[in-house]
Amino acid sequence: MIRIEGLRKTFHTRGGPVAAVDGVDLTVAEGEVFGVVGRSGAGKSTLLRCVNLLERPDEGRVTVAGVELTGLRENRLRRVRQDIGMIHQHFALLHSRTAAGNVSFALEVMGVPRRERAGRVEELLDLVDLADRANAYPAQLSGGQKQRVGIARALASRPRLLLSDEATSALDPDTTGAILALLRGLTKRLGLTILLITHEMDVVKRLCDAVAVMQEGRFVESGPVAELVGRPDSPLARDLFPLGPVPTMPDHVLFDVTLTGQAGDESVVSTLARRHDLDVRIVAGAVEQLAATRAGRLRIALPQAAPTLADALHDLRGAGLSVEAAR
């Protein structure tokens, strides 16, 4: 659905050139939810704005649904851009219009005739479970409801691609969960592809199939979430499932065990204890159902002097788990 090749964008500021996007390649498959995470200033927003060419890249190609956007003139681009929905952190609603009015506005801009608009607005508000608040103004809506309006408006042109710029960053955890569930449901119902930027690990866990970590304009890590979590050296896996500082435990050795997919069942640890007659202590960890897979990390402590220690570790690795000394 999206193909980005060799993308670069430099801003020339008073303090000198800033390479906001410094050579990014990215492919997002149809129906996939792809997340880009990274610290403030990493270049995420610039990258996202380059996908619909709100920002013109200096170099590189952007192809969406088979159309090379970087090769289009402004008037053709404006039409193609309508087929790409976008949602924002602060919702960007018109305060003088109701929820229905905001959605209708998007249809007006697209030139949808008046008689067709009311029906489409109803359908769109229904899609985001907000039909009962159609006549409320933004000031009368909660943050989550405002974002639902934002999503309905973004879907007005029946886009196949949705770009999301920190869509849940201004929401509390419960509301975030509800919006993520809504977006996940929409990808299935409408066959929507989503490219999102976020700094929230929960968004990656609950919504993304694949993820890239951006740092100083480049991707430093990327791949399917299930695969990244399973990589022992992945800094992202550590951020998704932080285990905290390694405690001092005399006479014990500590290991960090990564569980994903097939091997995402924490019962492997109890099996280990039974089979090798080991006193296995879980020191820290979490296992969760992610959007893409069941995964987690556990820190376990094993008695240093146990004669079965080597066999136990061998068994764990044999079950497809990654096991490394805790650090």
Ligand X SMILES: Nc1ncnc2c1ncn2[C@@H]1O[C@H](COP(=O)(O)OP(=O)(O)OP(=O)(O)O)[C@@H](O)[C@H]1O
Q: Are strands 281-289 and 67-68 parallel, antiparallel or unpaired?
A: unpaired
Write out the binding residues for ligand X, residues 11-40 only, by CB under 6 A. Answer: 11, 13, 18, 20, 38, 40
Asked if 47 contacts 24 with a C-beta cutoff of 8 angstroms, the reply is yes
Where are the extended beta strands (E) located within the chain?
2-13, 16-28, 33-37, 59-64, 67-68, 84-88, 161-165, 193-198, 210-215, 218-224, 252-260, 281-289, 294-303, 322-325
| Bridge partners, 224 (sequence order) | 210
Distance between CA 81 and CA 52 in Å, rounded?
6
Q: Backbone dihedral region of 326: left (phi > 0), alpha (psi from -120 to 50 degrees) or beta?
A: beta
Write out the binding residues for ligand X, residues 105-164 only, by CB under 6 A. Answer: none
Answer yes or no whether residue 42 interacts with ligand X by CB under 6 A.
Answer: yes
Q: Are strands 33-37 and 252-260 parallel, antiparallel or unpaired?
A: unpaired
Answer for which of 45, 52, 147, 193 binds ligand X (CB under 6 A) is: 45
Answer yes or no whether residue 57 interacts with ligand X by CB under 6 A.
Answer: no
Answer yes or no whether residue 168 interacts with ligand X by CB under 6 A.
Answer: no
Q: Which amino acid is at 254?
A: L
Q: Which is nearer to ligand X, 37 or 106 (CB)?
A: 37
Answer for which of 43, 85, 144, 296 binds ligand X (CB under 6 A) is: 43
Q: Which stretch binds ligand X (CB under 6 A): 41-49, 101-109, 138-146, 204-212?
A: 41-49
Answer yes or no whether residue 212 interacts with ligand X by CB under 6 A.
Answer: no
Answer yes or no whether residue 41 interacts with ligand X by CB under 6 A.
Answer: yes
Q: Which stretch binds ligand X (CB under 6 A): 10-18, 62-70, 112-120, 146-154?
A: 10-18
Shortest separation between residue 58's beta carbon and ligand X, angstroms: 13
Answer yes or no whether residue 211 interacts with ligand X by CB under 6 A.
Answer: no
Q: Which stretch binds ligand X (CB under 6 A): 44-52, 202-210, 244-252, 283-291?
A: 44-52
The residues near 190 (Cβ < 8 Å, ≥ 6 apart) are 155, 158
Shortest separation between residue 88's beta carbon and ligand X, angstroms: 12
Answer yes or no whether residue 56 interacts with ligand X by CB under 6 A.
Answer: no
Q: Which is nearer to ligand X, 13 or 248 (CB)?
A: 13
Asked if 210 contacts 291 with a C-beta cutoff of 8 angstroms, the reply is no
Q: Which is nearer to ligand X, 45 or 187 (CB)?
A: 45
Q: Which is nearer to ligand X, 59 or 277 (CB)?
A: 59
Shortest separation between residue 205's beta carbon and ligand X, angstroms: 19
The residues near 253 (Cβ < 8 Å, ≥ 6 apart) are 301, 302, 304, 309, 325
Distance between CA 261 and CA 60 in Å, rounded?
36
Give the CA dihedral 310, 311, 312, 313, nearest 10 degrees.
50
Residues within the interface to ligand X (CB under 6 A) = 11, 13, 18, 20, 38, 40-46
